[in-house]
Amino acid sequence: MADPPPPVRVAAWGCITPFGDARSTHAALLGGESALEAVPVLGREGGDPVPLALLGGRTLDETAPPAWLSSVKRLAATVPAGDWGAPGRPVFVTGSNFGVGGLYALRRTGNAAFAEWGAPPTCTERLRLEFGWGPDVSILSHACVSAHLGLLQATRAVHAGIADEALVLSFDFLSPFVSGGFHALKILNSEFPAPYRERAAGSIGLGDGAGFAVLSRGRGDWSLSGQALYNEMHHFTSNRADGSGFAACLEGASAAAGGRRVWFKGHGTGTLEAGRMEVAAASAAFPAAPIVGWKGGLGHTLGSCGLVELAVAIESLRHGRAPGTIGGAGPPMAPAVALESFETAPYGGVVCASNAFGGAHAAFLLSDA
């Protein structure tokens, strides 16, 4: 089994959510706020109301150019300048849906103006030109662990000496394509999510989100270590009942923690079985770690969740306080689930984990450099 890569530093970070930038998002989550609102699942075409967190001023329906573009530009403007995409400065763009809302609009309206943002290659190329990046822009897409894959690829490029620094950018914006699909899977319904809480039926919320991180070998106050992946390949939408997939992925972060007390930022979408297994695995790997999940406040930002929540985790460490688990009511799945915010000083870092369809898992330890 391959060892995780050596630690890498986070030299810059940021995110954008319906709450605003990373600092504003952290503050809102500390206050227990939720950006989720009931929105018709097919936008202007109606359908059941489902909990979605859309960027301010945006509707679920696609526009040409996309309404989310201004938000991605605003986020990209906060990325430190650095000749990105040139030799030695690779960019890793990650996401699950890219401009797929454009494909939905294209099919419904026949308007070819929606096509140019519709597929990952065309969407990313448009952004590359928009931001003046060089040609070394790769696209990684693996549903909700996409951002973690970008971080891992960037880390390897830095440590192999083929990148001085690397930029990872992740974005995912909702559309009827996405909400309709999750609604068809019966996990996005009218109930708002209650991550890590026991209830009769599970439900998720979805959210708009984008984030970035600049990784460097020697620059930055924060360190990513113990990066690991695991793919159960058991079923598209469920996990092995013994939770072994969750446990396997946490081995790297556990070794990196080296016995230090840590807190755990989980995936926690609001589904029941996966939530229980995740809590059990986290508790076993990191006894006494408070477990939090923020998707009850942000919605699940899908392909960007790894980077959006990394940014919030960094803000938590910077400001010494982590938001508790947000959303719903009902008994927590385990005593370790932290429902209230708490001080981060007693802990040596935070393990950040994400999971995806196909039983995909990803995790790393974030700590002071």
Partner 1 sequence: MPDPLTARLKQLIVETLRLEDVAPADIPDSEPLVGGGLSLDSIDALELVVRLEKEFGIKIASSEEARHALGSVAALTTYIRERGDPSRLPS
Partner 2 sequence: MLERHIQFLVTDDPGEETAAATRERLKGHFPPGATRRMTTLGLLLGSTLSRAEPGEDDGLVYATGYAESCALEGFLDSFPTPSPTLFQTSIHPSAVQQLMIGRQRPVRELMPLSGGPLLAFHALRASLLSPSPRSILCGGEEKGTWLLAHGLASDRTFAFAAALTRERRPGAAGRIGILRDEGKGSLGLPAFFDLLHARRPFDGMIAPGWRLRLEWL
Three-class DSSP category at 229: strand
**Of 236, 259, 329, 368, which lies in the binding site for partner 1, with binding defined by CB under 8 A?**
236
Q: Which residues within the stretch 175-214 sit at the binding site for partner 1 (CB under 8 A)? A: 184-187, 189-191, 200-203
Choosing from 77, 184, 201, 288, the residue that interacts with partner 2 (CB under 8 A) is 184
Going by C-alpha positions, the residue among 28, 24, 37, 35 that lies closest to residue 341 is 28
> Tokens 């970008």 sit at which residue?
150
Q: Which of residues 49-68 bind partner 2 (CB under 8 A)?
A: none
Site size with partner 1, rule: CB under 8 A? 16
- If one asks whether residue 238 binds partner 2 (CB under 8 A), the answer comes out as no
Q: How far apart are CA 168 and CA 153, in angstroms?
A: 9
For residue 257, what are its two tokens?
């923690």
Residue 256 CA to residue 21 CA, distance in Å, equals: 29
DSSP-derived secondary structure for 25-65? HHHHHHTT----EEEETTGGG--SEEEEEPPTT--SS--SS
237 binds partner 1 (CB under 8 A): yes
Selection from partner 2, partner 1, none that 358 binds (CB < 5 to 8 A by kind) is partner 2
297 contacts partner 2 (rule: CB under 8 A): no
Select 149 or 224, whichever has its Cβ closest to partner 2. Answer: 149
Strand extents, DSSP E, 56-208: 91-94, 137-140, 165-172, 206-207
CA distance 79 to 171: 14
Strand order in the sheet with 206-207: 37-40, 49-53, 206-207
Q: Please, what is the minimum distance in Å from the beta carbon of residue 39 to partner 1?
A: 17
Q: 5 vs 327, which CB is nearer to partner 2?
A: 5
The residue (of 185 and 284) whose beta carbon lies closer to partner 1 is 185
**172 belongs to the binding site for partner 2 (CB under 8 A):** no
Nearest approach in angstroms of CB 40 to partner 2 is 11
Q: Which of the listed partners (partner 2, partner 1, none) does 200 bind, with a CB threshold of 5 to 8 Å by partner kind?
A: partner 1
Q: Give the shortest CB-12-to-partner 2 separation in angstroms.
A: 22
Q: Which does 202 bind (CB under 5 to 8 A by kind): partner 2, partner 1, none?
A: partner 1
Query: Is residue 321 involved in binding partner 2 (CB under 8 A)?
Result: no
Buried b (16+ CB within 10 A) or exposed e, 243-254: bbbbbbbbbbbb
Q: How long, in residues, is the chain?
A: 369
Residues binding partner 2 (CB under 8 A)? 1-3, 5, 42, 45, 47, 87, 96, 103-104, 106-108, 112, 115, 118-122, 124-125, 134-143, 149, 153, 156-157, 160, 162, 176-177, 180-186, 229-237, 245, 248, 357-360
